[in-house]
Amino acid sequence: MAERRWAILSLSLIVMVLAVIVFTGIHWASMPPSGIEPIDPTRLHVSGEFIEQNLGVQIRADGSVIVHLIGQQYSFNPQCIVLPVDTNVTFRGTSADAVHGFLVTGTNANAMLVPGYITTFTTRFSQTGEHLMPCHEFCGTGHAAMWANIRIVPRAEFDRFRSEHPGARCD
Ligand code: CUA
């Protein structure tokens, strides 16, 4: 009888854990970890997709946007970007030194920036507004002062802003 009770108990634990995974995945739209793409952190500014003029927001052929950003002790580059609402946004980021993280407050955008690797994920922002984007991995003495700003605006306003500000940067 005791064995049977343990079997039921352990089975229900498994079912509970699976239910939590399904719930967070579907209800909170949490994202699985991204694939592994290596990059040389000492050459970010020299060549490749993370050179200075490529940082910020670019528009892709299908109208979606792509954001390139770098985390470094103790700031993000760019410090402030403008993004369109209801548009697929792909973030591509990496770190120039320590492990950093970033999240866009009030949204499901949340990732780590690891030196030597490119982090990439795609999300959509369904409401306009201002968001803080703090670093959420302890990265040294200046960690608490490391954050950026993101402004979500209507598409027409975004297109206008970007035509005047390369990379849609507001820093
Ligand atoms: Cu960068 Cu904490």
pLDDT of residue 37 exceeding 70:
yes
d(CA 82, CA 155): 10
Both tokens of 40, joined, read: 């040389």
- Distance (Å, whole) CA 16 – CA 11: 9
Beta strands 110-113 and 100-103: pairing type? antiparallel
| pLDDT the model gives residue 35 | 64
DSSP state of 137: S
Is the CB–ligand 1 distance for residue 49 below 6 Å?
no
How far does residue 62's CA lie from ligand 1's centre (Å)? Answer: 33
Q: Under a CB-based contact definition with an 8 Å cutoff, are residues 80 and 73 in contact?
A: no
In the predicted structure, residue 55 carries a pLDDT above the cut 70: yes
| pLDDT surpassing 90 at residue 24 | no
Distance 10 CA to ligand 1 centre (A): 40
For residue 99, the cross-strand partners are: none
pTM beyond cutoff 0.85: no
Ligand 1 contact via 97 beta carbon (within 6 Å): no
CA distance linking residue 17 with residue 104, whole number of Å: 27
* pLDDT exceeds 90 at position 158: yes
Residue owning the nearest CA to atom 1 of ligand 1: 100
CB environment 31-66: b (16+ within 10 A), e (fewer): eeebeeeeeebeebeeeeebeeeebbbbeeeeeebb
Question: What is the chain's mean pLDDT, rounded?
Answer: 92
Measured in Å, residue 128 CA sits from the centre of ligand 1 at: 26
Within the chain, residue ranges assigned H as helices are 2-27, 155-164
pLDDT of residue 152 exceeding 90, the answer is yes
The pLDDT of residue 2 is 87
Residue 158 in 3-state DSSP? helix
State how far the Cα of 120 lies from the Cα of 36, in Å rounded to an integer.
9
Encoded tokens for 27: 């209800």
* Residue 44: pLDDT over 80: yes
